[in-house]
């Protein structure tokens, strides 16, 4: 039916409208109300792109039920067309937000609070300086290492035991053992040296530092005290010739105190008395050397000057250059080129003597062997040299008596000579 040139009055039914007969030009603004549209009758294909502006839509006219799922894409929405007033509270869920869609520029400063953060991994923190104005509490270990891939040398804050029963809260480790640590009780352990730089107050400020801490020197009279303090200018416990520097020669030291008063002589007495007392002291010097100090073949000039003392002794042990292999040697030096030397064996009843004097120096005389007899030896000698043993005619009493007397005199003479020899060599 053609309606050309005719005015249609009354209700215009859908069956009276040809497909696509009503276009945008045929509709006045706001002419089509929501009540005139059947549900789902306006589809995306019926609306041209950007054909419906905001002015053509009454407020709240398009409800959720009027829009099909995914019917409105970004091409149908003008820039800035959707403001916060158009989005209901909680209307946008996580499913409606594409991954990585919210970038840094879309988040206001201070918009993300602590309650909004669940976990932050190290990968989410940009390399650089991490500043903290509040306490950081973390149950774990913070480490600094020499090599992130194969850490060996490292230092850290946090509980570590290093295979011991002690827990350390601060520590340094060199790959083998701790070099620095502070345990839970506050005990500090350091391996290596502690350097206090010049100009610092250093050790003197330690609470348990003594009065001499930090001083390079101390006054002997006013600052050094205690029961172990030695006398002034004393060297206590030092070994002669080893850790005493600047000591005088032995001969000077040995005779430096040989004065009359030092040996007990009365300085108020005669000079000869004091001199005699000092000489007695000097003559009494005895020096002992190490075992086998000199060989028996050494001439007199082979003896050190310091060893030419009034009595020089040393032990013999397993040597072959002396008359006895075991025993001792005593040498009495009366002057630089005059001495008597005695060699004793271990049996005690045999001795050897020799001498040197300026006329023969440095050659020693030949050894002379002396045997020492005791009283029992003399009695045996008297018995063996009785009248009968001597071949006397014992029937002649007078002759026997004379022979016995002569033997007795000879024995006594021998005894006196022996005793004289012993006493002169003591």
The pTM assigned to this predicted structure is 0.29
The vertex-383 CA angle with 379 and 388, nearest 5°, equals: 160
The predicted structure's pLDDT at residue 202 = 66
The backbone torsions φ and ψ at residue 137, rounded to the nearest 5 degrees and listed phi first, read: -115, 125
Q: Are the CB atoms for 24 and 51 separated by under 8 Å?
A: yes
Alpha carbon distance 199, 30 (integer Å): 91
Please give the DSSP secondary-structure letter assigned to residue 238.
P
Residue 128's CB: how many other CB atoms inside 10 A? 6
Q: Are the CB atoms for 160 and 141 separated by under 8 Å?
A: yes
Token pair listed for 366:
């030949």
Alpha carbon distance 176, 114 (integer Å): 41
Give average pLDDT by consecutive 10-residue segment, the chain, 426 residues: 60 68 70 73 72 73 73 74 77 79 80 77 69 69 85 89 90 89 92 74 69 81 82 70 64 51 52 54 73 95 92 93 93 94 84 94 93 64 55 56 65 56 47
Contacts of 84 (CB under 8 A, 6+ apart): none
Counts for the chain of helices (H) and strands (E), in that order:
5, 11
The predicted structure's pLDDT at residue 111 = 78
Tens-digit pLDDT profile for residues 384-426:
555 555 555 555 556 656 666 666 666 666 555 555 544 444 4
Place of tokens 């190490």: 290
Is residue 400 classed as helix, strand or coil in its secondary structure?
helix
For the chain, which residues make up each domain, given as ranges? 16-130, 138-193, 285-371, 376-424
- SS3 of the chain: helix, strand, coil, percent, to 5: 25, 15, 60
The predicted structure's pLDDT at residue 363 = 96
């Amino acid at each position: 039916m053609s309606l050309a040139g005719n005015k249609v009055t009354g209700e215009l039914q859908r069956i009276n409208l040809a497909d696509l007969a009503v276009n945008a030009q045929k509709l006045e603004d706001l002419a089509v109300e929501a009540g005139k549209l059947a549900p789902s009758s306006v589809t995306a294909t019926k609306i041209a792109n950007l054909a419906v502006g905001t002015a053509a839509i009454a407020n709240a006219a398009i409800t959720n039920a009027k829009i099909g799922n995914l019917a409105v894409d970004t091409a149908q929405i003008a820039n800035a067309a959707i403001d916060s007033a158009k989005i209901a509270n909680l209307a946008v869920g996580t499913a409606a937000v594409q991954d990585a869609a919210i970038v840094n520029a879309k988040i206001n400063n201070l918009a993300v609070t602590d309650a909004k953060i669940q976990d932050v991994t190290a990968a989410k923190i940009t390399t650089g300086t991490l500043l903290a104005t509040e306490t950081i509490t973390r149950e774990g270990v913070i480490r600094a290492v020499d090599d992130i891939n194969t850490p060996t040398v490292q230092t850290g804050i946090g509980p570590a035991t290093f295979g011991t029963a002690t827990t350390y809260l601060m520590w340094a480790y060199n790959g083998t053992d701790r070099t620095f640590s502070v345990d839970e009780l506050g005990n500090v352990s350091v391996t290596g040296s502690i350097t206090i730089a010049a100009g610092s107050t250093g050790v003197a400020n330690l609470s348990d530092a003594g009065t001499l801490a930090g001083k390079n020197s101390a006054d002997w009279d006013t600052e050094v005290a205690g029961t172990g303090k030695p006398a002034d200018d004393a060297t206590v416990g030092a070994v002669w010739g080893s850790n005493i520097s600047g000591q005088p020669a032995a001969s000077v030291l040995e005779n430096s105190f040989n004065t009359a008063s030092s040996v007990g002589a009365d300085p108020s007495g005669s000079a000869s008395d004091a001199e005699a007392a000092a000489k007695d002291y000097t003559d009494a010097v005895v020096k002992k050397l190490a075992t086998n100090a000199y060989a028996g073949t050494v001439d007199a000039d082979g003896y050190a000057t310091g060893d030419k003392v009034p009595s020089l002794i040393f032990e013999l042990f397993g040597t072959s250059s002396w008359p006895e292999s075991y025993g001792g040697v005593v040498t009495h030096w009366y002057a630089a080129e005059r001495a008597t030397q005695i060699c004793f064996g271990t049996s005690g009843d045999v001795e050897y003597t020799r001498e040197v004097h300026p006329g023969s120096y440095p050659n020693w005389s030949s050894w002379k062997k002396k045997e020492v007899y005791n009283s029992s030896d003399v009695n045996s000698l008297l018995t063996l040299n009785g009248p009968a043993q001597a071949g006397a005619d014992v029937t002649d009493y007078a002759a026997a008596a004379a022979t016995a007397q002569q033997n007795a005199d000879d024995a006594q003479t021998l005894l006196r000579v022996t005793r004289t020899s012993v006493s002169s060599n003591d």
